[in-house]
């Protein structure tokens, strides 16, 4: 079943602790997370109908099967 991003959901105390760590620490970071010169770039995307990815000259993609299309794309 597809989920609603605007709805409430229950999360474990462990997940709450992890999220709180990010809230507390992200603003204090002096270094960037993403490096300027990646050695490989992989681009991917998905929609309700299908998915796809590109890496250098290699491309792949397809349409969701019936059962897969019932899941959330994220």
Q: Could you write out the three-class secondary structure of 19-39?
A: HHHHHHHHHHCCCCCCCCCCC
b/e map 40-58, b = 16+ CB within 10 Å: eeeeeeeeeeeeeeeeeee
Residue 1 in this model has a pLDDT that exceeds 70: no
- Answer whether residue 6 is part of any domain: no
Residue 20 in this model has a pLDDT that exceeds 90: yes
- Answer whether residue 51 is part of any domain: yes
- Answer whether residue 1 is part of any domain: no
- Answer whether residue 8 is part of any domain: no
- Answer whether residue 56 is part of any domain: yes
In total, how many domains does the chain have? Answer: 1
Q: How confident is the model over 35-44, as pLDDT tens digits? A: 678 889 999 9
pTM for the model? 0.49
- Answer whether residue 5 is part of any domain: no
Report the C-alpha gap between 42 and 3 in whole angstroms. 27
- Answer whether residue 39 is part of any domain: yes
């Amino acid at each position: 079943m597809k989920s609603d991003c605007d709805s409430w959901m229950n999360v474990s105390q462990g997940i709450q602790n992890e999220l709180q760590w990010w809230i507390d620490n992200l603003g204090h970071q002096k270094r960037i997370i993403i490096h300027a010169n990646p050695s490989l770039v992989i681009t991917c995307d998905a929609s309700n109908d299908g998915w796809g990815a590109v890496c250098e000259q290699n491309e792949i993609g397809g349409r969701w099967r019936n059962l897969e299309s019932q899941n959330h794309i994220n």
